[in-house]
Amino acid sequence: MPDYSWPAAEQRTLIGKRVSRVDAPLKVSGRAKYSYDYTRPGMLFGKILRSPYAKARIVSIDTSAAEKMPGVKAVEIIQKPGTTVQWAGDEIVGVAAVDEPTAEDAIRVIKVQYQQLPHLVSDAEPPAGVGGVPGPMSEDDIWDATDLMSPPQVASQVSQLGVTFKASPDVIDEFKKFGLPAEIVEAIQKAAYHPLAESSHSASWYQKASALHQGDPDKAFAGAEAVSEGLYGAPVITHCCLETHGSTAEWPDKDHLLVHLSTQNVSGIPGQMAEPLGLPAANIRQQQDHIGGGFGSKFAADRWDITAARLSKKAGGKPVRMMLERDSELQVAGARPSAYARVKVAAKTDGTLTAWHSESWGTGGPGGGGMPPIPYLFNIPNQHKEHTAIRNNIGPARAWRAPNHPQAAAITMCALDDLAAKLNLDPLELFRKNLGITGPRAENYREEFAIAADLMGWKDKWRGRGQDRSGSVARGLGLSIHTWGGRGHSSDCDLTLHPDGSVDIKLGSQDLGTGTRTCILMVAAETLGLPIEAISLYIGDTMYPPSGGSGGSTTIGGVSSSTRRAAVDAREGLFTKVAPALNAQPADLECVNGTVRVKSDPSRSLSWKQACSKLGAVPLTARGKNPDKSKPPDLTNSGVGGVQMAEVEVDTDTGVAKVKKIVAVQDCGLIIDLKTAESQCYGALIMGITYALYEEKIMDQLTGRMLNPNMQFYRLAGISDIPELVVHMMTGKGYDERGVIGLGEPPVISPGAAISNAVANAIGVRVPFLPLTPDRVLKALADHNLD
Amino acid sequence: MRAFEYATPQTKEQAVGLLGTKWGPIAVLAGGTDLLALMKDDVEQPKRLVNIKDIKELHGVTSSAQGLRIGALTTLGDLADNANVLQDYPALAEALNDAASPQIRNLATLGGNLCQRPRCWYFRNGFGLLPKDKVGKDLVAEGDNRFHAILGNSGPAKFVSPSTIVPTLIAYGAKVRLAGPKGNRELPLEKFYVIPKTDTEREHDLRPNEIITEVFIPAAGGMRAAHYEIRQKAAFDWPLAVAAVALNLSGSKVLSARVVLGYVAPVPWPSPEAEQALAGKVISEDVAKAAADAALQKAQPFTHNSYKVQLARVAVKRAILKAAGGAA
């Protein structure tokens, strides 16, 4: 059997080097085509009428004026009278017209009568005593529970509490598809169905999860040498994709749908659109060249995409473009759940952690959501945890880069930092002291801490809380650590060698801007001994072999493994054809520098083109797969660590915090492209600064609407807000041999915690919640001065 | 965006003739950086746009012994680069460079900056200039007012005046010149701004059938001025507080001062209290602080914006010290 393993360090020609992304020229010159750019002659423009109310029953809908309007080609009611909408901006009616203004005019003449219902858009700490009894579980609750409990525990909770959804075969299939353990699925099928009671809104707004217990926290707290208490958390933020959500849908004939949907999940789209449209998935084709941001919010064909397809059908198959406006993007197309907690943490005077107690709450919109994985990373021996989910009317949550981890880090790492301050310990020492309870990556963290401390100059710069002041400028340092899985997803890859020497690769993957294209090409080029430019790559189309959605840092492990196996098999196939011409056995050959040659006698060689001509008239295609137990070794792996340190300056008169420097030290197994790996970290740090200091989905309690669905009040860091970013990737022994592991999520987990800790170190007091806005910083300072 | 009629007059008389007597149905288009966004958001729904960019006399900057005449269509970018501005009104150049992004500064005009609509998030989300809900609840007073006014806010208007440049212009003693059907008129810039009492009124004294033709800034003499903004982001962000200060000094003593606050009230907010606190004094940290305290003495914050009182105080203090040449 051929050797599929990754080449040894000394043999690598491309893997692990810094290679500029192959699509950079397209992107910087504006030639890269995004779904938003897809334009067809005769294309219609779709618009959606959205609910102005956060909670309301639709009483009646009259679309007659819109249907009669010249230029309007199709109208589609999305939610029928009698339905209760659960958030402002929810989709009511879709319209397709010859141009955008006409579609907007049509939307304005649709008459909808609503019966407004009381809403809740707050995620403030639940009043005492609410949600005392754990309620039935939503789909989200179940997924969240799997993060925290073993399958038998989750199954037993499901049986005990019942579920809020109908366990239809589709729902069950969905659970199975995403890997929910069989015993939980079974429990769901048997569980009692308790729909959320419309009549008792306030009662159903809060859902208390079962308390989780480990060790003997009461005893540990009673005997603790030091206890630190604090309030921590992170708000709901949006994904704010630069390219908004949406698609263009068209019917080339009555049985076939072609969509250009902005998605992280090219191969998964047909399956999602098939049922609502009553069309075989095989008749749906999805295409996408480039995507302008997803961050976890673009896995699904959304209701507006289904609507676009229906409008197109009604309009005789004409293409209908339905891309969200900026305000809709921010209101309905994705939000990261909030998480807040009152935390008590105990330790010995030397910093050894002994006990954790948290009462947490947060919202993921109408679904509620679960407890973030706290205490994050540090498996403190004695724990007591309670969580209350708030099911409110802010719109649905979606996975946001490293789901629940940034919130868990913000709560945990800030609590530990406060504990260190209370013990007059350098937090670096406290963290190092407790690495033993972080699990299998403890030694990696130790190495990473050493490098990070050096790059930050931690030893020289670090002072106790509030000790580094000049005038109104307070300086401080903070740190955090994080982990993630990142095992490669399922991926099929076809690699074809043509008799003329050209090579192409096809896979139904997508490049989120992370460098996926570049990495696929590097793996194939390395394996075939060719330059990257000699290979044509085709991705982003369901005509190509399926590859998993790009979520959970699973892409690089998946596509690099499937590409490696395809390239090795194609190479072996070529060797078989070429060997006679070189008077050698296939096993004696190698591909080096654009030649196929005999290992033991490189003078016996053919140029790549000559070699491929031996294929005869028919190209050779090899299918590589991940996972593929029949073609060992496993080329991907799971589990990474990272350490980050932030340096800030805070103006204590204005409360304005500025990040001066961030150091990120990160491992992710074998790195394919060092440059795009570093870029992933730079992007994550920028995103991290943004959610640490600026971002929040601000909801208006009175109107139930989002107040900042625009780029003025939904603040994102600008170029002047980005400080020196130092990224160090761990490579070499201890890392490379682990195989390829994803990197999308991990580096975005720690910035919020590290920056919050740095601000606390600077000003001498904790600002409880992100974002660290001037009003909050000033309030924390004022409260502190009152003490 | 709704359909509209588009007119491009060549003279200011033609322009004025195309305007109406009511706000709303007809709007003047200059740089369009604010108006077009408001139209896209359906906050403004003009049936006619009067594009004034072809009117030659509204362009250009001319300097004389009396001062600087700035055509209303001068872009913020051009004005920031103007040699006279850089030399004689450096605080204005700084205010201009602090405003918006380079792309916006290259399109936005000074006249448009004077007339831009408030950034109040209720207004921008379609709840009106003096936002109320269906049962008459004041959305700002009872809602999320973290960015709203702390001064001049006892009436129904609680938004903050949106220009970051106007406080500096007022500190320099700028006048605004308007053209209407009955000819031209001139106002001190601070008198141009009024606090509306009803939703049909505007935030300034411009009539629906008038246009701004130019801004005049008297010669600065030996005046020392400064502009100071407190923003969360380093650039391209709307400030939380603005202060502009101009000092007439005799030696190190203040003969007279202008102190104007921005982003604190529905109008640019000159502070005679701070001006008095400075008169006759030699600027020091304590004097600046006393003036800043005086400027904010009457502040009446809402439930969520008391931090702005502190920020405004700091802005005033730092602007005074900066104008006097001390550390900002």
Question: Can you spell out the DSSP letters for A47-83?
Answer: EEEE-SSSSEEEEEEE-HHHHHSTTEEEEEESS-TT-
CA-to-CA distance for A676 and A744, rounded, in angstroms? Answer: 11
Is residue B166 a contact partner of residue B186, using CB atoms and an 8 Å limit? no
Q: What is the DSSP letter of B326?
A: S
Q: Is A393 helix (H, G, I), strand (E, B) or coil?
A: coil
The sign of the CA dihedral B1, B2, B8, B9 is: negative
pLDDT tens-digit readout, A229-273: 999 999 999 999 999 999 999 999 999 999 999 999 999 999 999
Residue A665: closest CA among A376, A502, A458: A458
By Cβ distance, the residue of A693, A702, A708 closest to B142 is: A702
pLDDT tens-digit readout, A536-585: 999 999 999 999 999 999 999 999 999 999 999 999 999 999 999 999 99
Q: Inform me whether the C-beta atom of residue A104 falls under 8 Å from chain B C-beta atoms.
A: yes
pLDDT > 80? residue A202: no
pLDDT tens-digit readout, A692-734: 999 999 999 999 999 999 999 999 999 999 999 999 999 999 9
Q: Where are the domains positioned within chain A?
A: 9-32+488-626, 35-117+245-323, 139-237+336-390, 405-486+638-786
* Residue A272, pLDDT score: 97
The mean pLDDT value for B66-78 works out to: 98
Chain centroid to CA A657: how far? Answer: 27
CATH class of A9-32+488-626: alpha beta
Q: How confident is the model at residue A201 (pLDDT cuts 50, 70, 90)?
A: very low
By Cβ distance, the residue of B3, B236, B307 closest to A778 is: B307
The mean pLDDT value for B164-178 works out to: 98
Residue A546: closest CA among A496, A494, A504, A620: A494
Contacts of A211 (CB under 8 A, 6+ apart): A384, A385, A386
Q: How confident is the model at residue B327 (pLDDT cuts 50, 70, 90)?
A: very low
**Interchain contact, B127 vs A774, CB within 8 Å:** no
Phi, psi (deg, nearest 5) at residue A127: -60, 150
Element (H, E) at A360: strand A353-363
**Interchain contact, A693 vs B232, CB within 8 Å:** yes
Q: Inform me whether the C-beta atom of residue B124 falls under 8 Å from chain A C-beta atoms.
A: yes
CA-to-CA distance for A94 and A125, rounded, in angstroms? Answer: 37
Directed axis angle between helix B307-323 and helix A774-786, to 10°?
100
Mean pLDDT over the full length of chain A: 95
Q: Inform me whether the C-beta atom of residue B237 falls under 8 Å from chain A C-beta atoms.
A: yes
Is residue A557 a contact partner of residue A636, using CB atoms and an 8 Å limit? yes
Q: Give CA torsion, residues A144, A145, A151, A152, to 10 deg.
A: -160
Q: Inform me whether the C-beta atom of residue A473 falls under 8 Å from chain B C-beta atoms.
A: no
Which residue of A122, A775, A781, A783 to mutate against B (max B Cβ within 10 Å)?
A775
Q: What is the DSSP letter of A14?
A: S
Q: Do domains A9-32+488-626 and A139-237+336-390 have the same CATH topology?
A: yes
Q: Tokens representing B304?
A: 């969520």
Element (H, E) at B83: helix B83-88
Q: Tokens representing A138?
A: 């939503």
Q: Inform me whether the C-beta atom of residue B5 falls under 8 Å from chain A C-beta atoms.
A: no
CA-to-CA distance for B132 and B150, rounded, in angstroms? Answer: 19
pLDDT tens-digit readout, A727-762: 999 999 999 999 999 999 999 999 999 999 999 999
By Cβ distance, the residue of A105, A702, A721 closest to B234 is: A721
pLDDT > 50? residue A200: no
The letter for the amino acid at A329 is E
pLDDT tens-digit readout, A639-692: 999 999 999 999 999 999 999 999 999 999 999 999 999 999 999 999 999 999
Q: Is A665 helix (H, G, I), strand (E, B) or coil?
A: strand
Please name the fold of domain A35-117+245-323.
Aldehyde Oxidoreductase; domain 3 (3.90.1170)
Is residue A689 a contact partner of residue A662, using CB atoms and an 8 Å limit? yes
* Residue A246, pLDDT score: 98
Domain A405-486+638-786, second-level architecture: 2-Layer Sandwich (3.30)
> Helices marked H in A191-254 — which ranges?
201-205, 217-222
Q: Is A299 helix (H, G, I), strand (E, B) or coil?
A: coil
Is residue A131 a contact partner of residue A208, using CB atoms and an 8 Å limit? yes
Instruction: Write down all domains in chain B, each with its CATH number in brackets.
Output: 57-115+161-218 (3.30.465.10), 224-323 (3.30.390.50)
Contacts of B131 (CB under 8 A, 6+ apart): B120, B122, B123, B138, B139, B140
Question: Helix, strand, coil: what percent of chain A each, to 5?
Answer: 35, 25, 40
* Residue A148, pLDDT score: 66
HSE, side-chain direction, 13 A CA sphere, residue B199:
11
pLDDT > 60? residue A198: no
> Helices marked H in A714-773 — which ranges?
751-763
CA-to-CA distance for A673 and A573, rounded, in angstroms? Answer: 27
Q: Tokens representing A660?
A: 């001066």
Contacts of A434 (CB under 8 A, 6+ apart): A351, A352, A353, A378, A416
Q: Inform me whether the C-beta atom of residue B143 falls under 8 Å from chain A C-beta atoms.
A: yes
CATH class of A139-237+336-390: alpha beta
